[in-house]
Structure formats: C-alpha cells, structure tokens
Amino acid sequence: MQEIIIRQALLSDQDAVTALEQQCFPASEAASRNTFSQRLHSFPECFWIAESGRHIAAMINGMTTDRRDLTDEMYEDTALYTADGTWLMLFGVAAHPDYQKKGLASRLMNHVIEAMKRQEKSGLVLTCKEELLPFYQRFGFVSEGISDSVHGGAVWYQMRLDFERELSRCARTGGECSFYLSGRRYLLYGWRQCDGDYLNVSDETGQMIWQTAKSGQAACDDFMAAYRCQALY
C-alpha cells in the first residue's frame, strides 16, 4: 500500500467523492454530486479524505451543529450547520472496496475524533445499521437505540461518542484516553506498579502531571473533579 495522506477535502474532489459514495452505498442512501458540492462549499472543514497516491481511498464527512440528534433534514439542509457547533454529525464513513478491511477507515476515524477533541467539541453523533454497531463501539460510540431516521428506507441506530462520558469511563477502568484543555493535549492512562494501580495524566511532552493511587469510581471522581475545574496543571 502506498503512503496514506489524510487531508481536508477540496471542492475539486467532488467528482471523486461522489464516485466513492456510489460505490459504497445503495442508490437510495448515497449522497448526490450536488449534495457534496453544497457541503464542500458550506463546511469543507468537516470533510476528510485519506488519499493513496492520487486516489481517494476513504472519506468521512459531516457538519457541526448545536443540535444533539442527527436528523434526515441535516443531510440536505446546509443552513443547519453551525461553525462553532458543539457536536459533529457524521453523514458518511466510506472506504473504497480495494482498501476495506485494511484499517484505513479506522485510521481516518481516529484522525477525525482527535481533530474534534482538539477543537474541544462535545463529541460526535452518527447513525448506522445494526451490523455496524460493533465497529463504532470500538471507538467509544454508544448506541442510543433506533433512530427516527427513514433515510433510504433503512433501519438506523443513533450512536454517540460523548468525550466527557468516554473520559469518565476510561478514568473508572484505567483505560487510555486523550483530551485537550486550553489547546494542549493530555493523555489519561492507568498504570500498574508493584505497590498498586495508579491513574495518571501526562502532558504532550510525556511528563506526568497528575496522579492518584485510588482505583475504580474513586479514581474517576478524583480525576473528573480536577478535569472540570482544570486543576490538572
């Protein structure tokens, strides 16, 4: 596989992304060239592609809004976009058939998640079919049940990745999770030592800046209190 470059989509990509969309989704669900043109004109910063050579191998697109739920009207009405919206609504995640099952969609998703954390958004929301629930759960998305969406005549499940909720879960279980405060990146992680388990936070240089020897919910409570009042440094 050639080197993969992840970048923001350009208006000049509209034919290529339309072709990829048609390869990956049924005609009743695929966005049209005109829809992609509107999205690329209105919120290009919410459209990412993974490029191999000069070939678009995968893409993720959506829009930011202050609304909490993804509705069918968002797919076509760009007026619902809010530049500083707290949630990123994902309209589509697609990988070219030649690049499927090679981890490319996962790599692109991780890139988008990290970008939204860096902007200190609340999280991401998407809808998917039942068979894809486990795929998105790997990134921390939680199913909220069957959506009201009737897009393409399919049954859709709404899934949400709430950054603060995911951070709380990682603090409770000792999992690893990145987060941002005032534009700086931090890493939360559990660490087992001979004298017990610890929950640590390191800064972007790798230096540990916060620690608790508590575990489980007690460690979570300590961390979330420090996080919410930004008392980690």
Residue 107 pLDDT > 70, yes or no?
yes
Residue 194 pLDDT > 90, yes or no?
no
Domain ranges across the chain: 4-162, 174-228
Catalogue the E-assigned strands of the chain: 4-8, 47-52, 55-65, 87-95, 123-128, 142-146, 157-162, 177-181, 184-193, 196-202, 208-212
Question: Which of 3.40.718.10, 3.40.50.300, 3.40.50.2000, 3.40.630.30 is the CATH number of 4-162?
Answer: 3.40.630.30
How many Cα neighbours within 13 Å face the side chain of 142?
Answer: 9
Percent of the chain past pLDDT 70, that is, above it, reads: 99
What are the backbone angles phi and psi of residue 41, rounded to the nearest 5°? -75, -40
Cβ neighbours of residue 136 closer than 8 Å, sequence gap 6 or more: 126, 128, 159
Flag the least confident range among 54-68, 71-85, 159-173, 218-232.
218-232
Name the residue with higher pLDDT: 182 or 113: 113
Residue 68 pLDDT > 70, yes or no?
yes
* pLDDT given at position 24: 95
Quick one: average pLDDT of 174-200?
91
**70 and 127 in contact (C-beta within 8 Å)?**
yes
Residue 139 pLDDT > 80, yes or no?
yes
Residue 231 pLDDT > 80, yes or no?
no
Cβ neighbours of residue 227 closer than 8 Å, sequence gap 6 or more: 167, 179, 181
Quick one: average pLDDT of 201-210?
95
pLDDT in tens, 22-61: 999 999 999 999 999 999 999 999 999 999 888 899 999 9
Mean pLDDT across the chain, nearest whole number?
95
The residues that bridge with 54 in the sheet, in sequence order, are none
pLDDT band at 1 (very low <50, low <70, confident <90, very high): low
- Ordered strands of the 208-212 beta sheet: 177-181, 184-193, 196-202, 208-212
**177 and 167 in contact (C-beta within 8 Å)?**
yes
User: Is the pTM of the predicted complex or chain greater than 0.85?
Assistant: yes
